[in-house]
Amino acid sequence: MFPTTPPSVEYRLTPLGESLLVPLSALADWVVEHRAEIAARRRSD
């Protein structure tokens, strides 16, 4: 917390959290690549 008005806080990922960046990025890329098929299957279920 910083002594400002209004108070402000800085957040940062831990090394464990940072280790998720690559797999989550890969998942996001996969979703973008398959979004049309995902949307079509959601409509048909």
* Measured CA angle at 19 (ends 32, 29), to 5 deg: 10
Contact between residue 7 and residue 1 where contact means Cβ atoms under 8 Å apart:
yes
Q: Decide: pTM greater than 0.85.
A: no
Q: Which amino acid is it at 30?
A: W
Cα separation, 45 vs 40, in Å, equals 9
Confidence of residue 45 (pLDDT cuts 50, 70, 90): low
Tell me what pLDDT residue 43 has: 85
pLDDT tens per residue, range 7-44: 888 999 999 999 999 999 999 999 999 999 999 998 87
Cα separation, 10 vs 2, in Å, equals 8
